[in-house]
Structure 1
Amino acid sequence: MRIGLLGAGPWAERVHAPVLAEHPGFEFTGVWARRPEAATALGGAYAVRGYTDLDELLAEVDAVSIALPPAVQPGLAVRAAEAGCHLLLDKPVALTVPDARAVAEAVRAHGVASVVFFTVRFGGEQMPWIERQAELGGWFTGRSDWLGSVFAPGSSSPYASSPWRREKGALWDVGPHALSVLLPVLGDATRVTAAAGPLDTVHLVVRHAAGASSTLALSLTAPVAAGGTGMELRGEHGVAQLPERGEGPVAALHRALDALHTSAATDRPHPCDAGFGLRVVEILAAAEQSLATGAPVEV
């Protein structure tokens, strides 16, 4: 399956490009970016073409892997779906519900496969853990802490220069990761209440369709010494904790591409497809509304 890369920034360079070049199920065909010189440079590093015309690339590939900001991704994803390309999408799918819905509708209308790359959802130890907890059921409550230090003093994060992360904060950057694990285990969200913490920190209380509740603490500005992630479930089977991540995003992207390849070959939607990405955006938008109004929001 021929695949093209859309984007040539740090995430594309560090994660997407090397995985596309290595994955046995795909032929890395070319790179397109908003900066043509960056597409040429990144493509040259892997002996593939840097395209200046997006439509030309879309006509020559079967799938695209998108590594672009979430405000840019939706329009390009729709164009790729219209061209018949399967989609490896980044999280969040979009920053507004209408944009996310446009992507999901384009996927359905044009019959292409889609997978949203939530890094933890495709983790080597996390994937079977999520599936096991969903099978067990009987969970009473969940807790998820995603305390990043991207913008904290002393941070060495390569994403500290990301304009969209600085504008939208932890809710939209790490919130999708937390939801991508909680929703398949505890069920869909029905109501969300949000409260602001220090700097960009946000606290969420989520009610789930099966009756459970969960709490989320999200930040990109936590002190470096206080940063970290963790998830805990409590219910009929006792206490279960999400395994710590022992690998980087490269291995997870390999699994996401495996999932895209399987979905395209079998014509069966993946649980983490554009429709799921839309649902995550709907919940984040509701949380943003709750922050503004101080009231719970039904989702």
Structure 2
Amino acid sequence: MKKVIFKILKIALPLLLGFFLIYYSYNQFTDLERDKIYSYLLDANYAWIILSLFFAFLSHLSRAWRWNYMLETLGATPKFITNVMAIGAGYAMNLIIPRSGEISRAAIVNRSDQVPMDKAIGTIIAERVLDLIVLLIITAVAVLTAGDAIVNFFKTRIDDAFAKTEPAKILLYSGIFLVLVILIVFISRRIQLFNRLKSFILGMKEGFMTIWTMKKKWWYFLHTLFIWGMYLLMFYVSIFAIPGIETIPISAILCAFVAGSFAVAFTNGGFGAYPYFIAQVLLVFGISEPLGTSFGWILWLSQTILVLVYGSLSLLLLSLKGSLSGK
């Protein structure tokens, strides 16, 4: 029962946050501003978006290739197409249940090449750690190039929000937040997840350490740079899809990119949070909220469609492969 509650909360809380941000964002606009958003969405030049999706797919292929450098250290070399399908399936699963994609990726190579689940997950965790380091570096560059604009903007917004909020509401919201935190901590401790998975964690540690023991570590790092280069290029070419966005400076592009990247961690695939965060960041650089919101939704919808198509095809091919091998 406790496990079921924990799983429900894990899925429900990010979704609720996403729905709340959509509701909040939609209701703050006037009818005229909503009409502008619809107009931006309809009149966008989607040729640039298709090009951005091409760069995104190249990053997925590079991620599939990169993964084998770590798996080789574990004595396995899955076929490239297997890795491509595993990653596609993983992305699709993450849209439904956050972080379930890592497990599905590991399960696929476990079935195809008998890579131990714990060690395969360890290699994926190593990927995430390295990717996080790159994202933090980009974040630092974005903040430095933007100067004090970001800090001053959010400080002003927070001050205004508290100035307009009644003390009773602040106490109520703080109480709700505190109860949620206590509930999550209580459930986590009762499940005693780490104690039950001690041996599993040791296996993941071995997989994680392969990032330093692999023979082709420099190729691995080069693929990492290529992947993030494609992410940035994907975001950059998208600014030409809507007139008015293409004039933003590099600092704005980097800040919006970082905001969108972190938004994905808050909700399922950035649902609700991605367009909202991007619109708020672009507002700092003089882009109106309707225009920034439209840009955010175009990016999120296009990337989500890519993940759904890519993931669905991967799951279908894996299913057919499993059926054929079972005969």
The TM tier, using the shorter chain, reads under 0.3
Bigger relative contact order (CA 8 A; separation at least 6): 2
TM-score of the two chains, using structure 2 as the length reference: 0.22
TM-score of the two chains, using structure 1 as the length reference: 0.24
Structure with more strand by fraction: 1
Structure with more helix by fraction: 2
